[in-house]
A and B are shown apart, each in its own frame.
Chain A
């Protein structure tokens, strides 16, 4: 992991200017002499710079290890992969846990409001840090796909391709509703203290765990939960009513996931980032015409979606592709049959990986070395 100090001021969409900021970055593979083989990985809501490989003491590899590595879809024998943690997150890059230089205390709930354009602007600076002139690909799933789309319309000459997986051009009312339930769960925790929990040496862990449990359910599908847990019972049984109450496997799994997340993630970050998701609307600046937004884009697009994803269902991806075709952009669109819900974009699947690999190989074959 590398800590990159970006000393140029970053003017945020909300008007606030970060005089300098820090990004934690992992890179994989080698940058070629022409600096033409760089791929930017855009993480999703709770992702980090640790996208691939194993750290000492890891129980799991990086969050996209199935896709990034030698011979994998994003082949590190071909590409130089740049994977930053973006600002506002809580894994070491500038965010609510960092010190505000003006007050010398942590930002906490006062970290400025973020938009996706702030992430891409910061990534644009990171690009200069590595002296990369043009990304071979900007790649991401979910919120990551939104960044890839934003790159394509904001810096059209700075990328050859955009891979947009399980994403949407804006959130639906239902998406925003789930985010608001999550935020309220955090804010209602008695240890939240209006976001100033750090100063009181507290953590709104119960609220954050609940927020994660709600989110987690929306990342799975009815079918995947049925396959993985069904009505399997961990404790108690229905034959002897006097024994302990029955506890289903899914209950234990969700509670475990919630608690684990509450330990690792920062509540202010979660609120900040879910808000950022809610605010995103690719076409807002373009008269609400998505095809007008894409009219400036020149890169090749790969749009992938999963049949059981109800967080960003296939219809959202079809809208993206429709707008791209109307705008005359080059696009490949595939709908992967999967029972894994929104999480499918993180998981191995032979057809998904085959399409992804083939597209990336094609990009690699067009690069100047």
Chain B
């Protein structure tokens, strides 16, 4: 999403060292390199995505994030990014701590499970929600931790993490208008810029 890229570009200075966790096909790093000349590395375990990164000339390291980041020393990156993958991690709170250990700052985006459409499906249909952001049936979903915009803010508070910036993103109406009033109900994707 362009909106997310715009925000990340605002928050990451040029020529900084960036680690992108679960970097997928490397598109974000490619953009960051092109526009901000960052020294970027991506971690990924999906074989096809790794090949796509190599094709683009993106630095990609095959690594399972559930095994942690202990191969990286403290503060060796300016920014650590994780887009839409925290809900897939075995221990999201521990990984968040790790991200802030190896990076000075981190940027996280995640699908808001508190969105009204998810709530409606659970409340009225009594079924686990399948939405555009959470597009899997319960039995095949890689998402093993569901959390809301509000949950994440509470976690940051509990772990004494500073929220430098955040934004609530919604692409459809009426969410676009209402997300400011009721962020936990109308945010589709949340983005947080954090530090310790």
Q: What's the least CB distance linking B24 to chain A, in Å?
A: 15
User: If the complex has contacts A322-B71, A325-B72, A326-B73, are A354 and B51 also in contact, measured as CB distance less than 8 A?
Assistant: yes
CB < 8 Å: which of B17, B53, B72 contacts A332?
B53
Structural contact, B55 and A358, CB atoms closer than 8 A: yes
Instruction: Write out, one digit per residue, whether chain B residues 122-139 have a CB within 8 A of any chain A CB (1) or not (0).
Output: 000000000000000000
Residue of A nearest to B47 (CB): A351
List residues of chain B with CB within 8 A of the CB of A362.
54-55, 57
Which 9 A-B pairs give the minimum distances between C-beta atoms?
A: A333-B61, A358-B54, A334-B62, A322-B71, A335-B62, A330-B59, A332-B60, A362-B57, A359-B54
Chain A: interface residue total (CB-CB under 8 A): 21
CA distance A333 to B51 in the complex (A): 11
Structural contact, A318 and B39, CB atoms closer than 8 A: no
Q: Check: A153 CB closer than 8 A to any chain B CB.
A: no
CA distance A351 to B45 in the complex (A): 13
Structural contact, B59 and A334, CB atoms closer than 8 A: no
Instruction: Write out, one digit per residue, whether chain A residues 346-361 have a CB within 8 A of any chain B CB (1) or not (0).
Output: 0000010011001101
Q: Check: B41 CB closer than 8 A to any chain A CB.
A: yes
Q: What's the least CB distance linking B36 to chain A, in Å?
A: 15
CA distance A359 to B50 in the complex (A): 11
CA distance A366 to B17 in the complex (A): 24
Q: What's the least CB distance linking A290 to chain B, in Å?
A: 12
Structural contact, B73 and A355, CB atoms closer than 8 A: no
List residues of chain B with CB within 8 A of the CB of A361.
55
Structural contact, B55 and A325, CB atoms closer than 8 A: no
Structural contact, B71 and A318, CB atoms closer than 8 A: yes
Q: Which residues of A contact B (CB under 8 A)?
A: 300, 318, 321-322, 325-326, 328, 330-335, 351, 354-355, 358-359, 361-362, 366
In the assembled complex, 20 residue pairs joining A and B whose CB atoms fall closer than 8 Å, in A order, are A321-B71, A325-B41, A325-B76, A328-B17, A328-B39, A331-B41, A331-B59, A332-B60, A332-B61, A333-B60, A333-B61, A333-B63, A334-B62, A335-B62, A351-B47, A354-B51, A355-B54, A358-B51, A358-B54, A366-B57
Instruction: Write out, one digit per residue, whether chain B residues 86-105 have a CB within 8 A of any chain A CB (1) or not (0).
Output: 00000000000000000000
Residue of A nearest to B45 (CB): A335
Interface SS of chain B: helix, strand, loop or mixed?
Answer: mixed
Q: Which residues of B contact A (CB under 8 A)?
A: 17, 39, 41, 47, 50-51, 53-55, 57, 59-63, 71-73, 76
List residues of chain A with CB within 8 A of the CB of B72.
322, 325
Residue of A nearest to B76 (CB): A326
Residue of A nearest to B51 (CB): A358
List residues of chain B with CB within 8 A of the CB of A322.
71-72
Q: What's the least CB distance linking B196 to chain A, in Å?
A: 21
Which among A322, A325, A335, A355 has the highest number of chain B CB atoms within 10 Å?
A325
CA distance A321 to B72 in the complex (A): 10
Structural contact, B51 and A355, CB atoms closer than 8 A: yes
Q: What's the least CB distance linking B51 to chain A, in Å?
A: 6
List residues of chain B with CB within 8 A of the CB of A318.
71
Contacts A331-B61, A332-B59, A332-B60 known; list 17 others, CB within 8 Å.
A300-B57, A318-B71, A322-B71, A322-B72, A325-B41, A331-B59, A332-B53, A332-B54, A333-B61, A334-B50, A334-B62, A335-B62, A351-B47, A354-B51, A355-B51, A362-B54, A362-B57
List residues of chain A with CB within 8 A of the CB of B59.
330-332
Residue of A nearest to B60 (CB): A332
Structural contact, A355 and B39, CB atoms closer than 8 A: no
CA distance A331 to B54 in the complex (A): 10
CA distance A300 to B53 in the complex (A): 14
CA distance A345 to B31 in the complex (A): 34
List residues of chain A with CB within 8 A of the CB of B47.
351
Structural contact, A321 and B61, CB atoms closer than 8 A: yes
CA distance A366 to B57 in the complex (A): 10
CA distance A354 to B54 in the complex (A): 10
List residues of chain B with CB within 8 A of the CB of A321.
61, 71
Q: What's the least CB distance linking A208 to chain B, in Å?
A: 38
Q: What's the least CB distance linking B56 to chain A, in Å?
A: 8
Q: What's the least CB distance linking A366 to chain B, in Å?
A: 8
Residue of B nearest to A325 (CB): B41
Q: What's the least CB distance linking A325 to chain B, in Å?
A: 6
Residue of B nearest to A329 (CB): B59
Residue of A nearest to B17 (CB): A328
Structural contact, B57 and A355, CB atoms closer than 8 A: no
CA distance A333 to B71 in the complex (A): 13
Residue of B nearest to A362 (CB): B57
CA distance A359 to B71 in the complex (A): 24
CA distance A285 to B57 in the complex (A): 31
List residues of chain B with CB within 8 A of the CB of A351.
47
CA distance A331 to B60 in the complex (A): 7
Q: What's the least CB distance linking B116 to chain A, in Å?
A: 42
